Amino acid sequence: MTVTDPTAASAATPLDDHQRSRRIRKVILAAGAGHFVEWFDFGLYGTLATVIAINFFQQGDPGAALLSAFAVFGAGFVMRPLGGLFFGSLGDRMGRKSTLATVILVTSGATVVMGLLPTYSMVGLWAPLLLVLVRLVQGFAAGGESSGATTLLAEYAPSNRRGFVSSFVDVFGFAAFVVGAGLVLLFTSTLGADALNSWGWRILFLLALPLGLAGLYLRWKLEDTPEFQAIEKKGEVTKSPLRTSLRTSWKALLFCVGFVVIKAVGHWILQTFMPSYLQTTLHYDQTTSYAVTTIGLLAIAVLVPFMGLLSDRIGRKPVMIAGCIGFVVLTYPTLMLMNAGNFWAATAAMVLLGVFMAAYDGASSAAMAELFPTNIRYGSMAIAYNVSVAIFGGITPYFAAFLITASGNPFAPAFYVMAAAAVSLVVVLRARETFRLPLRQQA
């Protein structure tokens, strides 16, 4: 088995330190731009869940309408494993660059359509049906985004900075939620809630058009990764990556599924469920809810690369374990703190949960990429990641809201987060440490 240094494999002549740094920055921007567009839409949908409920479902019972909005949100996740199979296999056979360019084209197009959909008052039941259709398309495209962007960054990164570079997948993902939540906060403050609810929400989704075109340009200008170019030259590109993955890396697939459990649940609790939770359950006003969410997500985006850098120094496992333990021990108390009815208490609680999420995210992206060899990395990650997200992440907002309704306990969602963290903790403890190992090229 031959191992190459991904920082130099593709160059005909060696790159100096300045050229390497410049190339890494370019790759981070290209990967991040597409990832930003992907999660900008998801963030908007979650932040605007109460607005979506008003516009796309029959009114009468606000709680039932909100549950319906979350159910449609979860429907998009049904398509993610299929999207992962399609785009993951394509990425391992045709390359990372062209596949990720296709993903961002589909994503941004679907998001623009979202901003043009007719509402329930216009077309009745056709409104939620069209909403579901768009969400299914978005979910299909999302199946190829996270694993592809992570693969791109991991295969370009120097071996001693793989955690730091790979962590920018989550930096841009959370930044998208911050910008989305911040724009909602801005629109609410300047236009007023009535204007946001009636037409302002459309403008936010239509912003995906210029963002998508910019991301498409950046990705198309990239060369494919050094690792993928190396296996192309050697004729080691796999014709059937899924079959190869199931035959040679099934244990790694299971580990990857386990890694993603708390990642999926934690993300969608903080990004999607929290704004409506603060409003409908804890009775914060709309502006305060969006402000708390924005600050919390911003804290995560800032902390993630530092956690990735830490994982390059001490290993992936210690950082991921710390994140899991934090969720298990402190999720319930933080939700109780939010119930104080004070902006600063709610913000402190949100930021504390964000610290645990940042720790786990900062180390887990590289850890997942390091589980698989180059010729099946994209597809293997796509399968495992999206199966786990579809099972655990897609139902998170709906299930969290259901737990509150069924139990009458406003802090009941904490138990779901704690259980997810416990599952990932067990898996991480059983996994081997990979941060000092080079990326393998062939299964």
Sequence ranges of the domains in the chain: 19-430
- In this structure, the dihedral spanned by the alpha carbons of residues 442, 216, 23 and 223, taken in order and rounded to 10 degrees, is 50
Task: Report the amino acid identity of residue 7.
Answer: T
CB count within 10 Å of CB 235 equals: 6
Q: What is the pTM of this model?
A: 0.85
Give per-residue pLDDT as tens, 280-329.
Answer: 899 898 888 888 988 998 999 999 999 999 999 999 999 999 999 999 99
Considering only 34-38, 96-100, 383-387, which range has the smallest mean pLDDT? 34-38
Mean pLDDT of 153-165: 93
User: Percentage of the chain surpassing pLDDT 90?
Assistant: 50
Burial class of residue 118 in the structure, from the number of CB atoms within 10 Å of its CB (0-12 exposed, 13-18 middle, 19+ buried): middle
Q: Are 155 and 167 in contact (CB under 8 A)?
A: no
Residue 382 structure tokens: 């796509």
Give per-residue pLDDT as tens, 170-221.
Answer: 999 888 888 887 788 788 888 887 888 888 889 998 998 998 898 889 888 8
What is the spatial distance between Cα 20 and Cα 28, in angstroms, rounded to a whole number?
Answer: 12
- Tell me the H-state helices in 269-285: 274-276
Alpha-carbon distances of 288 from 156, 182, 185, 225, 277, rounded to whole Å = 41, 11, 9, 43, 12
Task: Decide if pLDDT at 151 tops 90.
Answer: yes
Q: Which CATH number is 19-430 given?
A: 1.20.1250.20
Angle at 381 between CA 380 and CA 384, to 5 degrees: 85
Task: Decide if pLDDT at 42 tops 80.
Answer: no
